[in-house]
Amino acid sequence: MDFDLANNAGLMIPLLLVVAGVVLIFSAVKVVPQGYMYTVEQFGRFTRVLSPGLAFIMPFVDRIGHKLNMMENVLDIPTQEVITKDNAQVSCDAVVFTQIVDPVPAAYEVNDLVRAISNLSMTNIRTVVGSMDLDQVLSNRDDINARLLKVIDAATHPWGVKVTRIEIKDLTPPGDITEAMARQMKAERLKRAQILEAEGDRASAILKAEGLKQSQILEAEGRREAAFRDAEARERAAEAEAKATEVVSQAIAAGDVNAINYFLGLKYVEAFAKLASSPQQRTVIVPADFAGLVGAIEGVKALTDNVKRPPDAPRPSGGAAPSPFTTRG
């Protein structure tokens, strides 16, 4: 019995030593993932930082203090009500991008780093937004982001944290202000539509005026061309009349009585035509010596025949041609 106990004790001691060695190895060997850093504390005091990879510490003397994520982190800032400079209330939230650049102050200079950055961001959002009017807040979001980034990055620098970017996600004014803004936008759009319509009417009126102008120009050119043609026709008529007058003058000089009758008959007919065509004349009285008019016309016909007949042609016999106004028995 005693022999069995001794044998069992001899077997337990090596086994315990193996287990203790395994425990010591696992306590001394640490594997740090990529993107992380571990702080090492010896009896509660910071001694060094473990970089990514395989590292060794003193078992039971050293321990891992903080495991720090060195990658860029995204922190959501909760929604809060902010009063603007013109006493308008808006709901505002944001997102902050941070990265630890120095693990020692991030681990030992501030307690609860995430909560500290969140509260710091909320406070500065109220400060920056509260210093601006509502119109500026709604239209200058990039300016707000730049001011917040500058202030918060400077405040987190002692903690070993770099604020890479901060963005305002949402700015929501109250419902009544939203309705007023919608009415204002509608009024602006109606105003622009009316302006565009007025500009269209103006352009249409200009085009119509230009068309009327071109029409009047073409009409004036047409009248000028017609006047030129009328003047040319009158000139040719005057030339013909001058030629006829010359022929009649030559006939009178030659002692032809028909030429004198031609002149008298022509003037007689012209005067009678004016009298008949007068709009104020309702009654035309034929003169008593109408037979003289007929004789004048016969003289005109004879003179015309003499003018048209060649000089060497014999004169027709039998006297004057019968008058178209005479009646045969």
Gap between the Cα atoms of 263 and 4, Å rounded: 181
Q: Is the pLDDT of residue 321 over 50?
A: no
Q: How confident is the model at residue 318 (pLDDT cuts 50, 70, 90)?
A: very low
Q: Does residue 80 sit in the same domain as residue 167?
A: yes
Q: Does residue 20 sit in the same domain as residue 80?
A: no
Q: How high is the pLDDT of residue 186?
A: 80
77 vs 259, residue with greater confidence? 77
Burial of 203 (0-12, 13-18, 19+ CB in 10 A): exposed
329 vs 49, residue with greater confidence? 49
Q: Does residue 18 sit in the same domain as residue 64?
A: yes
Q: Does residue 61 sit in the same domain as residue 102?
A: no
Q: Which of 38, 69, 100 is the last residue of a domain?
A: 69
Q: How high is the pLDDT of residue 306?
A: 53
Which tens digit of pLDDT belongs to each residue from 47-94?
Answer: 999 999 999 888 888 899 999 999 999 999 999 999 999 888 899 999
Say if pTM beats, i.e. exceeds, 0.95.
no
Backbone torsion region of residue 249, taken as left when φ is above 0, otherwise alpha when ψ lies between -120 and 50, otherwise beta: alpha
Q: How high is the pLDDT of residue 261?
A: 64
Q: Determine, yes or no, domain membership for 195.
A: no
CATH number, position 106:
3.30.479.30
Q: Determine, yes or no, domain membership for 229.
A: no
Question: What is the residue whose two structure tokens read 């009316």?
Answer: 194
Q: Does residue 65 sit in the same domain as residue 78?
A: no
Q: How high is the pLDDT of residue 324?
A: 39
| Residue-range definition of the domain harbouring residue 284 | 256-329
Indicate the helix (H) or strand (E) that contains 156.
Answer: helix 141-156
**Which range (33-47, 168-182, 265-279) has the least confidence?**
265-279
The pLDDT mean for the chain works out to 79
Which tens digit of pLDDT belongs to each residue from 117-163?
Answer: 999 999 999 999 999 998 888 888 999 999 999 999 999 999 999 99
Q: Determine, yes or no, domain membership for 193.
A: no
Q: How high is the pLDDT of residue 317?
A: 46
Cβ pair 166, 94 in contact under 8 A: yes
Q: Determine, yes or no, domain membership for 19.
A: yes
Q: Which of 34, 69, 104 is the last residue of a domain?
A: 69
Q: How high is the pLDDT of residue 279?
A: 63
Q: How confident is the model at residue 284 (pLDDT cuts 50, 70, 90)?
A: low
Q: Does residue 262 sit in the same domain as residue 275?
A: yes
Which tens digit of pLDDT belongs to each residue from 219-238?
Answer: 888 888 888 888 888 888 77
Q: Which of 69, 99, 122 is the last residue of a domain?
A: 69
Q: Determine, yes or no, domain membership for 192.
A: no
Q: How high is the pLDDT of residue 170?
A: 87
